[in-house]
Structure 1
Amino acid sequence: MPIRVPAELPAQAVLDKENIFVMDSERAAMQDIRPLEVGILNLMPNKIQTETQLCRLLSNTPLQINVDLIRIDNHVSKHTPEAHMDAFYHNFDDIAHKRYDGLIITGAPVALVAYEEISYWDKITTVMDWARRHVQSTLYLCWAAHAAMYHFHGINRQVREDKLFGVFEHQVNKPLDELVRGFDGRFYAPHSRYGYIPVEQYESVLGLDVLAGSEQTGAYIVASTDKRQVFLTGHPEYELHTLNDEYKRDINAGLETAVPVNYFAEPDNPESEPVMSWRSHGTLLYTNWLNYYVYQVTPYDLNDISSRV
């Protein structure tokens, strides 16, 4: 949240130079407060697990947030009871008239399928285009981050021979950007993906900044300078045992999946306990997104979003 100071306080000018948001008393007196409206388009197979992970991170704020869980159609989920979907999810067509402060589009289990061959690709692109008109800031996760880069900028992902799988160290590239405010210079985050886009291709797009990444993972956090789009290639929402569950799932399916790196207490020993090393950064990332990329810039009247594209 912003700090509130008297108007013309000398500290305000200093903090402004450091890109720290300061609200003077006059502005604070005029500010109206309302709940934030956030949608989650959940494309993951185990929807209950994913929605729980995301809601946990979204909850770490003093702001009230109204969350809409969204599905693109009535396709029956193999891993989530239909009663759950009927009770808690909105069809996209039923909420397409609404506007949101924030939207999260998750990854999807189609990592090795060409975009145009995905049965729901047209529906996904419809949602992406809709978000540019109806949402203040959209957070694209993992597969969705690459899909959005392809849809909006024509940059196709490349496919690794081996899955990038485990917990990796990253470096902050632009410490004054609000999205990485409070991050340590080096921090950890989980990845589980085959796709990647070289850093220089992100950097070639006018208006995109690579805020954090590493040599092993490439770009991790990429954001548009207008704060309307964030591309996140990893999974800071993962729980302690999520990577272990994915590893066992792959092994049971007969896949030659390597043990996730930097994850187990005893390296390369999947029988040892996993170690949580990314929770604080993941929580801070989502808090920063809600505060600086959503709350501080979203219009009070959500109908004004469409005029700001």
Structure 2
Amino acid sequence: MPIKIQNDLPAREILERENIFVVDENRAMHQDIRSLQICILNLMPLKEDTELQLLRSMSNTPLQMDVSFMQMSSHHSSNTSPNHLNRFYNTFDELKDNTYDGMIITGAPVEQMDFEQVDYWDELCRVFEWTKTNVTSTFHICWGAQAGIYYHYGINKQPLDEKLFGIFQHRVMNRKVPLVRGFDDVFMMPHSRHTATPADAIHACEDLVVLAESDIAGVFLCMNKSGSQIFVMGHAEYDRLTLDSEYKRDLGKGLDIHIPENYYPDNDPDRKPDLLWRGHANNLYSNWLNYYVYQNTPYKWGQILDEDKRKLAAKTLTKKI
């Protein structure tokens, strides 16, 4: 799949080495193709790593995408260079007049705080409200999924007794829904979090459909009935060594961290982890892009967001602010 990104984005060189088709800005200008407009709100501290993981995850369809990156203006990111942020990222205020076919809202390392204590919470709430009118389908990840469910449905997260950390088995709950089309009955996915959105509360919410769940890790995948809001509690986008890096980072900080479950062969951190989730991760992103973004988005956004609807959306957003 061709991904259109800025010519000098650092992830570009790595993607090309992996034979992922990346279209530069100059070539894209000469193509008469209506690319899918995808916005990524990247809340992770190591933004370049997350960029690469997400772009790689979206690379397995024939659809052409034009990817933009959003950051929160109410938060200072100290783990990514200001130069990188200035060159490749825009704030919500700079992008809020745009419409997007799809949006990804990542996780963030703030899950042990109450949502309202997060310094960019008010701004994030504006984004959540804006997605209702300006985005066809929004894909929430980990803390981003917990925050989205809390904002849209009022279901709060709860602390876990210990960190949920490793690769866990999940079972497909509703095979007729296109988002899990092609999945095996049982599949593995990574988790790395200290909190959980209660499974019983998600099941009790009439607006949410649970698509995959784990006896240990709880709900992995759920969505609203229209597919405009999708919530992924784990990290399908993780690379082979992401959990390894997190584990060794926490050990180096002297934190009380257990070895990631079902990850290292024979639980030996000196051995290369097996990659057990990549196929289903690719399927998840491909299904989202195909069934909930591409097939639900008209060629021209104005076909579904006419002037009267835009005025109503603007009034709603103003009230929320």
TM-score (norm 2): 0.83
C-alpha spacing 1:260/1:168, structure 2 compared with 1 (3 Å): same
Tell me whether 1:64 sits opposite 2:64 in the alignment: yes
Quick one: distance in 2 between partners of 1:48 and 1:76?
Answer: 16
Specify the SS of the correspondent of 1:83. helix
The structural deviation recorded for 1:165 is 0.3
Aligned length: 278
Specify the SS of the correspondent of 1:270. coil
- The equivalent of 2:236 in structure 1 is 236
Specify the SS of the correspondent of 2:73. coil
Specify the SS of the correspondent of 1:102. strand
Q: Is the 8 A contact 2:104 2:138 kept in 1?
A: yes
Tell me whether 1:189 sits opposite 2:189 in the alignment: yes
- The equivalent of 2:297 in structure 1 is 298
Quick one: distance in 1 between partners of 2:109 and 2:242?
Answer: 15
Tell me whether 1:259 sits opposite 2:262 in the alignment: no
Specify the SS of the correspondent of 2:109. coil
Q: Is the 8 A contact 1:203 1:209 kept in 2?
A: yes
C-alpha spacing 1:249/1:223, structure 2 compared with 1 (3 Å): same
- The equivalent of 2:287 in structure 1 is 288
CA offsets 1:240-279 (integer angstroms, 9 cap, x no match)? 1000100111111111010000000122x21222111000
CA offsets 1:107-160 (integer angstroms, 9 cap, x no match)? 011010011111110011110001111000000100011111111111111110
Q: Is the 8 A contact 1:99 1:303 kept in 2?
A: no
Quick one: distance in 2 between partners of 1:46 and 1:62?
Answer: 28
Specify the SS of the correspondent of 2:227. coil
Quick one: distance in 1 between partners of 2:76 and 2:92?
Answer: 15
Specify the SS of the correspondent of 1:266. helix
Superposed counterparts of 1:86-125, under 5 Å: 86-125=86-125
CA offsets 1:5-32 (integer angstroms, 9 cap, x no match)? xxxxxxxxxxxxxxxxxxxxxxxxxxx9
Tell me whether 1:198 sits opposite 2:198 in the alignment: yes
Quick one: distance in 1 between partners of 2:303 and 2:43?
Answer: 28
The structural deviation recorded for 1:207 is 2.2
TM-score (norm 1): 0.87
Quick one: distance in 2 between partners of 1:305 and 1:254?
Answer: 53
Specify the SS of the correspondent of 2:132. helix
Superposed counterparts of 1:1-309, under 5 Å: 34-73=34-73, 75-267=75-267, 269-306=268-305, 307=309
Quick one: distance in 1 between partners of 2:303 and 2:201?
Answer: 32
The structural deviation recorded for 1:218 is 0.7
Q: Is the 8 A contact 1:47 1:80 kept in 2?
A: yes
C-alpha spacing 1:130/1:58, structure 2 compared with 1 (3 Å): same
The structural deviation recorded for 1:305 is 4.4
Structure 2 residue identity aligned to 1:64:
Q
Q: Is the 8 A contact 1:180 1:285 kept in 2?
A: yes
> For structure 1, which runs of at least 5 residues remain unmatched after alignment?
1-31
Specify the SS of the correspondent of 1:188. strand
Quick one: distance in 2 between partners of 1:129 and 1:54?
Answer: 23
Q: Is the 8 A contact 1:157 1:195 kept in 2?
A: yes
Instruction: Give the % identical residues.
Output: 44
RMSD, aligned CA: 1.7
Structure 2 residue identity aligned to 1:184:
D
Quick one: distance in 1 between partners of 2:75 and 2:160?
Answer: 30
Structure 1 residue identity aligned to 2:259:
V
The structural deviation recorded for 1:99 is 0.4
Q: Is the 8 A contact 1:213 1:221 kept in 2?
A: yes
The structural deviation recorded for 1:92 is 1.3
Quick one: distance in 2 between partners of 1:122 and 1:264?
Answer: 40
C-alpha spacing 1:52/1:305, structure 2 compared with 1 (3 Å): farther
> For structure 2, which runs of at least 5 residues remain unmatched after alignment?
1-31, 314-321
| Of 123-132 and 73-82, the range deviating more from structure 2 | 73-82
| Of 299-308 and 278-287, the range deviating more from structure 2 | 299-308
- The equivalent of 2:13 in structure 1 is none
Q: Is the 8 A contact 1:199 1:210 kept in 2?
A: no
Quick one: distance in 2 between partners of 1:249 and 1:205?
Answer: 37
CA offsets 1:61-118 (integer angstroms, 9 cap, x no match)? 1111000011121744221111111111112111100000000000011010011111
Q: Is the 8 A contact 1:99 1:305 kept in 2?
A: no
Structure 2 residue identity aligned to 1:85:
L
